[in-house]
Amino acid sequence: MPPRELARLANEYSGVIIGLVETGAGPRLSIESNRSGHQVALDPTVLEAIASLDESSLSRLVGVFSEFGSASRAIVDSPVSPD
What integer is the mean pLDDT of 1-27? 93
Q: What is the pLDDT of residue 2?
A: 81
Which helix H or strand E contains 76, and what residues bound it? helix 72-77
Q: Evaluate whether 38 touches 32 at the Cβ level (below 8 Å).
A: yes
Q: Structural domain boundaries of the chain?
A: 1-42, 46-78
pLDDT value, residue 77: 54
Residue type, 51: A
Q: Which residues are registered as beta bridge partners of 10? A: 15
Strand partners of residue 34 = none
pLDDT score, position 65: 74
CA distance 73 to 2: 28
Amino acid 80: pLDDT? 52
Using alpha carbons only, give the angle 6, 10, 13 rounded to the nearest 5 degrees.
150
> pLDDT by residue (tens digit) across 23-68?
999 999 999 999 889 899 999 999 999 999 999 888 887 887 777 7
